[in-house]
Amino acid sequence: MRQKEIMLNIRPLNDADELGDDHAASSYNTPLRPDAFELDDDEKIVRIEKHFREIMTILGLDLTDDSLNGTPKRVAKMYVKEVFSGLNPKNRPHARLFENKYKYDQMLVEKDITFYSHCEHHFVPIFGKAHVAYFSSGKVIGLSKINRIVQYFSKRPQVQERLTVQIAKELQRVLHTDDVAVVIDATHLCVASRGVGDTNSKTGTAHFSGKFNDENIKREFLNYINAK
């Protein structure tokens, strides 16, 4: 698949029906209300459990059944503590930097980082691989922290374009360099399991900045991540 730099086409949405099945991002930042974290996690779990129980009841499910009775609380805990934990800035990874004592001046690539996210339009999973590279500006980061940054931004309702840009911008901020590349290859269950029902298609996005806008460097990175 030919990779290219992603340019977000951001437009105002006045009607949710206007969006339909389109996968358009409304902004670079995840849309959050100013009071998003006034409630603590425990209170959020209590409230989500109540509302999810009502949803299941409306669907006609028998919540007295042993298999279903605990589902609302399990879903509430999963939303707050796991799959949407990246919404809370207190969970942002603290990335410690180290001196580049090796004087390594070539690109560093971390490829095939597995991630799981959720489509913000239908709240169904997005999953795939992220590939990240950077040139050191004199500092390096622990490899596991790159994975943690990918996971942090994945664990929130997302669109893939925004996720790609957020990972890239965070790496630029943490590493104090513009020389960053991010490529994501993902499967969207909102496409595979509903709507058009295409189980074979994948979506690719990319963000290149700094040295990675040089075609030779970009090609070197893409050749590496596509190599078996």
Residues 65 and 143 in one domain: no
Q: What is the pTM of this model?
A: 0.85
Which residues participate in catalysis according to the annotation? 119-122, 160, 188, 190
CA atoms lying within 13 Å on the CB side of residue 182: 25
Query: Within a 10 A sphere around the Cβ of 172, how many other Cβ atoms?
Result: 18
**pLDDT: is 205 or 228 the higher one?**
205
Q: Does residue 6 lie within any of the structural domains?
A: no
Q: Does residue 1 lie within any of the structural domains?
A: no
Mean pLDDT of the chain: 88
Residues 183 and 107 in one domain: yes
pLDDT in tens, 152-210: 999 999 999 999 999 999 999 999 999 999 999 999 997 766 666 666 678 899 999 99
The burial class, CB within 10 Å (0-12 / 13-18 / 19+), for 3 is: buried
User: CA nearest 104: which of 137, 145, 147?
Assistant: 137
Q: Does residue 178 lie within any of the structural domains?
A: yes
Domain with 207 in it: what CATH number?
3.30.1130.10
Q: Does residue 152 lie within any of the structural domains?
A: yes
Q: What is the pLDDT at residue 228?
A: 80
Q: Which domain holds residue 150?
A: 97-226
Number of domains in the chain: 2
Residue 226 has pLDDT above 60, yes or no: yes
Q: Does residue 7 lie within any of the structural domains?
A: no
